[in-house]
């Protein structure tokens, strides 16, 4: 039976690839993002390829907006099988004292409060379907590079939350897992690499990855699909690195 999947941050990057991979497998995909143009484009491309998708403008840091997303998804497709918390922002590599309080609060709201909101609001529907949650963390949480303090902390919070929720939701048959990608080529790359000399920084990062390249959105989509599938039925509370060996 076709499942219903919510993917946040689905207008570009990992979210776009994740949404398209679920749609290709025959699932109905609800795309959520603040980027209306990108979200409509991705939904249109999925439908043109014969898939089922819908875009809903959603600010994942706003409780009313996320509740509207959950309600619209259930009206549209009857329930929720998988929630992928992917929307996120970062900051360029800077010392922590260059991150002011407003930026700190914004990054925590988009990267972590969002996961609390989406999860608490989706739990009743996920319980009914014995569904799964997949959170997009980052290898930065446990292996930070210079200048990534606040971003790394949001992803650390996400990994702890994943493990704690896995315990809490296991009796209901709901699995909660995460992935930790290494630096990858997406819309976020310019922030990750900074502006000083992005190409030199890229080579520097690649040199620390045993498989010798940055990640790609398709690398992440494949593992997220696995964590949402029966093939991973006995996995919960894990955070799988997708990092070409960087964390060895
Ligand atoms: N690219 C990397 O190197 C990398 C590495 C590890 C983890 N990640 C994580 O992967 C996830 C996806 O990032 P990406 O690399 O695809 O970047 P991206 O910038 O291409 O995608 C992020 C998406 O989130 C959306 N978004 C931002 N704020 C939002 C909000 N308030 N509400 C809803 N949507 C919002 C953006 O519009 C965008 O479409 C993020 O959580 C990021 O932290 C990225």
Token pair in block for residue 176: 């909660």
Token pair in block for residue 240: 């799988």
Model pTM greater than 0.95? Answer: yes
Distance of CA 169 to the CA centre of its chain: 19
* pLDDT digits 0-9 by tens, 108-135: 999 999 999 999 999 999 999 999 999 9
* pLDDT digits 0-9 by tens, 165-213: 999 999 999 999 999 999 998 888 777 787 778 889 899 999 999 999 9
Domain residue limits, the chain: 4-184+217-241
The predicted structure's pLDDT at residue 47: 98
The predicted structure's pLDDT at residue 189: 79
Give the distance (Å) from ligand 1 centre to CA of residue 188: 7
List the residue whose alpha carbon is closest to atom 42 of ligand 1.
Answer: 88
The architecture in CATH of the region 4-184+217-241 reads 3-Layer(aba) Sandwich (3.40)
Question: Distance between CA atoms of 19 and 7, rounded to whole angstroms?
Answer: 6
List the residue whose alpha carbon is closest to atom 14 of ligand 1.
Answer: 13
Location of structure tokens 């930026």? 103
The predicted structure's pLDDT at residue 49: 98
Location of structure tokens 């403008």? 57
* pLDDT digits 0-9 by tens, 33-84: 999 999 999 999 999 999 999 999 999 999 999 999 999 999 999 999 999 9
Which residues are tagged catalytic?
151
Give the distance (Å) from ligand 1 centre to CA of residue 118: 16
Q: Which of 188, 194, 205, 247 to mutate to test the pocket of ligand 1 (most atoms within 8 A of CB)?
A: 188
Give the distance (Å) from ligand 1 centre to CA of residue 171: 31
Token pair in block for residue 151: 């971003």
* Three-class secondary structure of residue 80 per DSSP: coil
Q: What DSSP character marks residue 215?
A: B
Handedness of CA 198, 203, 204, 206 (dihedral sign): positive
Question: Distance between CA atoms of 9 and 6, rounded to whole angstroms?
Answer: 10
Give the distance (Å) from ligand 1 centre to CA of residue 187: 8
Around ligand 1, the residues with Cβ closer than 6 Å are 8-9, 11-15, 33-35, 38, 58-61, 86-90, 110, 136, 138, 181, 183-184, 186-188, 192
Question: 132-136 and 175-181: which strand pairing?
Answer: parallel
Question: 132-136 and 4-8: which strand pairing?
Answer: unpaired
List the residue whose alpha carbon is closest to atom 43 of ligand 1.
Answer: 88
Strand order from edge to edge, sheet including 175-181: 52-57, 28-33, 4-8, 82-85, 132-136, 175-181, 239-242
List the residue whose alpha carbon is closest to atom 7 of ligand 1.
Answer: 138
């Amino acid at each position: 039976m076709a499942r219903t999947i919510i993917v946040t941050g689905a207008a570009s990057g990992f979210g776009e690839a994740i949404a398209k991979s679920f749609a290709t497998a025959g699932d109905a995909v609800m795309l959520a993002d603040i980027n209306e143009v990108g979200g409509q484009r991705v939904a249109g491309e999925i439908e043109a390829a014969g898939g089922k998708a819908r875009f809903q403008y959603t600010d994942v840091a706003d409780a009313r907006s996320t509740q509207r997303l959950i309600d619209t998804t259930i009206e549209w497709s009857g329930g929720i099988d998988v929630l992928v918390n992917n929307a996120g922002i970062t900051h360029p590599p800077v010392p922590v004292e260059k991150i002011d309080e407003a930026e700190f609060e914004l990054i925590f709201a988009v990267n972590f409060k969002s996961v609390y909101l989406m999860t608490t609001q989706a739990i009743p529907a996920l319980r009914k379907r014995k569904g799964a949650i997949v959170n997009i963390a980052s290898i930065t949480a446990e292996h930070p590079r210079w200048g990534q303090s606040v971003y790394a902390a949001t992803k650390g919070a996400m990994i702890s939350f994943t493990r704690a929720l896995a315990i809490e939701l296991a009796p209901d048959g709901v699995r909660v897992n995460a992935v930790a990608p290494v630096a990858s080529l997406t819309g976020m790359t310019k922030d990750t690499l900074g502006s000083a000399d992005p190409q030199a920084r890229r080579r520097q990062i690649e040199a620390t990855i045993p498989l010798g390249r940055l990640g790609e959105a398709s690398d992440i989509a494949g593992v997220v699909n696995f964590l949402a599938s029966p093939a991973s039925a006995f996995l919960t509370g894990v955070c799988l690195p997708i990092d070409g060996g960087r964390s060895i």
